[in-house]
Amino acid sequence: MIKVVLVGTGNVSYHLQKVFSQTAAVNLIEVLPGRSDFTNILSGKNASSEKIKDADLFIIAVSDDAITEVSKHFRKCDKLVVHTSGSISIKNLPKEIRSGVFYPLQTFSKEREVDFKTIPICLEANNPKDLKVLKILAGIISNAVYEVNSEQRRALHLAAVFVNNFSNHLYQIGNEICIENNLSFDLLKPLIMETASKIDTLNPTEAQTGPAKRNDTGTIKKHLEQLTTENQKEIYSVLTHSIQNIYGKKL
């Protein structure tokens, strides 16, 4: 059984608490807020000290900005200490400790259930033995465990901005167009789901369709006239050009 202490009370911590509680192979012995009195807790002078002394690892699931600060308190800790962030290097943890990264690549919010079995967990550790511990822990909750170094993780986090943040923004523009035309956004939802599902079996190059790929300049011109804001027109143009470049066609 792996004994875990979670640090932080945000979305990632919330979902890790849930999934750890559901398995007998993990003992979640404590959840400490990010602003806990770590000095006293870790030196044995606090009510939590007794509980956490048997921990195998501490998972620091706080905001990116707070990781360096919170992890400083663990400088004298002899346990494995990992963070859960996509964009923060393992080097931001104190050099003198057994450090690692346990990054679940998903968008988390407290209102939505997630199925951890399908969530890729990206692991890194500064020694092979600790990497093994992380692999065991990740393998208990997920079927998609990957070893990913800090540089790759940073790239993944950036890729996630494109496929998550930016795609959602395109949904928002779709919603704006619906509102302007007295249409329900529900009309677009099955298309959005199918677009995402399609790349499970086709790669995005094969899955691409539409006027930009076909170089259908008549439709592109009409679309640009139809759009009501300069912002929408700019996004349409930039993405259309980018698709045309891939398929070797230009306006």
Contact set for a second copy, span 16-55 (CB under 8 A): none
Instruction: Give me the least distance between CB of 108 and a second copy, in Å please.
Output: 9
Q: Which of 119, 125, 133, 134 binds a second copy (CB under 8 A)?
A: 119
Using CB under 8 A, which of 22, 68, 118, 127 touches a second copy?
118
Asked if residue 251 binds a second copy (CB under 8 A), the reply is no
Our finding on whether 87 is near a second copy (CB under 8 A) is yes
The DSSP code sequence of 135-197 is HHHHHHH-S-EEE--HHHHHHHHHHHIIIIIIHHHHHHHHHHHHHHTT--GGGGHHHHHHHHH
* Cα–Cα–Cα angle for 160, 165, 167, rounded to 5 degrees: 95
With contacts defined by CB under 8 A, name the span among 18-26, 41-49, 73-81, 116-124 that binds a second copy: 116-124
Cβ-based neighbours of 215, under 8 Å, separated by 6 or more = 244, 247, 249, 250
Question: x/- contact string, 230-249, with a second copy (CB under 8 A)?
Answer: -x--xxx-xx--xx-xx---
Q: Number of residues in contact with a second copy, rule: CB under 8 A? A: 89
Site stretch for a second copy (CB under 8 A), options 28-36, 40-48, 129-137, 207-215: 207-215
Q: Beta partners for 101?
A: 83, 124
Near a second copy in 132-191, by CB under 8 A: 144, 146, 148, 151-152, 154-156, 158-175, 177-178, 180-191
**Residue 145 CB, nearest distance to a second copy (Å)?**
11
The residue among 54 and 180 lying less far from a second copy, judged by its C-beta, is 180
| Binding flag, residue 66, a second copy (CB under 8 A) | no
Neighbouring CB atoms inside 10 A of 130's CB total 21
Residue pair 9/31 in contact by the 8 Å Cβ criterion:
yes
Asked if residue 180 lies in contact with residue 228, where contact means CB atoms within 8 angstroms, the answer is yes
Rounded Cα–Cα distance for residues 196 and 200 (Å): 8
